[in-house]
Structure 1
């Protein structure tokens, strides 16, 4: 006979069974399709913003490097 002690179980459902219970007929990871479209659009805006910050940072770095080299040469 198998022992009744379950170190990782405890009678709780895990994985797919638990996810199906929580879903309650809604879409699995985020509500309705309109909400998913909105989240995807907002993520695109955030990515665009980060891209702009990276470009500006590179631009500032190159400008600093150019000024530093010019200062060394002309000093």
Structure 2
């Protein structure tokens, strides 16, 4: 079983802010209870909610969702 990383609140705010600045319209957050990184991705074809295990994976999932729009 994978060990859950405990993210400091300041790090979460910084990482989510970076994603939101790089990808306008996206809302990103870390789920303390789920241990997952999440993003709301607004798309003309229908909004998406994406989940990932790390900030890097979340960015990749967002980019994939945007490319499919």
Query: Quick check: TM above 0.5?
Result: no
Q: Which has the larger radius of gyration?
A: 1
Determine which structure has greater relative contact order: mean sequence separation of CA pairs < 8 Å that are 6+ residues apart, divided by chain length: 2
Structure ranking higher in helix proportion? 1
Q: What's the TM-score bracket when you normalise by the shorter of the two chains? A: under 0.3
